[in-house]
Amino acid sequence: MENRFGSILIISGPSGAGKSSLINAAKDKIGDYYFSISTTTRPPREGEEDGVHYHFVDKESFEADIRAGNFLEYAQVHGNYYGTSLKPVREALEAGKLVIFDIDVQGHAIARERMGDLITSVFVTTPSLQELERRLKSRGTDDEEIINKRIQNALVEIEYITAYDFLIVNDDFEKAVDSFVAVTKAARLKKGRKQALQFVNQWRGQTPS
């Protein structure tokens, strides 16, 4: 009677909070999962590969997919589009996998509207704004203007913490990894309304032993 349909975990938080690091550190502990690769109109950074880090497209192609309804969610951040294509998500869910999205607060809100009862969400952040700024500067990948934009964006994003199921403050990294693994386990246990009703119908049809 086990329901093999998968679940969705959304991870959000300011750039520099350590979301990718948490996922990479936990990947051998969280079982079979699919990490959703976003589609974006921003140009690739040094070392990024199309189809590995992002699907890189032009603005016209992205907007055509919006009109066709091909995104689970999409948002415009720092003047560029980011979105999640629906087809690979459906395939992963039907295979019983945990689908992990690294998306911003706008995308989280849209995904909740469309697939809310399948979604578990976690917001990851640094212990303070000052620590976030320090991390952004220390990684050396962005200029001062981009860093300032990321900080301003973080000030907006932090207001949406209450919309998430869980909060991880990434101060002690090992503890944050343990917390993230626990969240993935909770996400796998969550069932959408459709799956719950299917179970009820199966349960009622059983002959008591």
pLDDT per residue as tens digits for the range 132-148:
999 999 987 778 898 99
Q: Is residue 197 part of a domain?
A: yes
Q: Is residue 54 part of a domain?
A: no
Tell me if residue 150 falls in helix, strand or coil: helix
Least confident of 5-9, 105-109, 139-143, 185-189: 139-143
Q: Which domain holds residue 11?
A: 7-36+97-204
Q: Is residue 118 part of a domain?
A: yes
Tell me how far the alpha carbon of residue 203 is from its chain's centroid. Answer: 33
* Predicted TM-score (pTM) of this structure: 0.79
Could you give the count of Cα atoms lying within 13 Å of 11 in the half-sphere of its Cβ?
28
b (16+ CB within 10 A) / e for 75-94: bebeeebbbbbbeebeebbe
CA 51 to each of CA 22, 39, 40, 116, 185: distance values in angstroms, whole numbers, following the listed order: 21, 9, 11, 27, 28
Tell me how far the alpha carbon of residue 182 is from its chain's centroid. Answer: 16
Q: What is the CATH number of the domain that holds 105?
A: 3.40.50.300
Average pLDDT over residues 192-196: 67
Q: Which two tokens stand for residue 121?
A: 């969400």
Q: Is residue 146 part of a domain?
A: yes
User: Strands 55-56 and 39-40: what pairing?
Assistant: parallel
Q: Is residue 23 part of a domain?
A: yes
Q: Is residue 169 part of a domain?
A: yes
Query: Could you report the per-residue pLDDT of 23-72, keeping only the tens digit for each?
Result: 999 999 999 999 988 899 999 988 889 888 888 999 999 999 999 988 88
Q: Compute how many other C-beta atoms are within 10 angstroms of the C-beta atom of residue 190.
A: 16
Q: Is residue 67 part of a domain?
A: no
Q: Is residue 70 part of a domain?
A: no
What's the structural domain count of the chain?
Answer: 1
Confidence of residue 123 (pLDDT cuts 50, 70, 90): very high
Confidence of residue 4 (pLDDT cuts 50, 70, 90): low
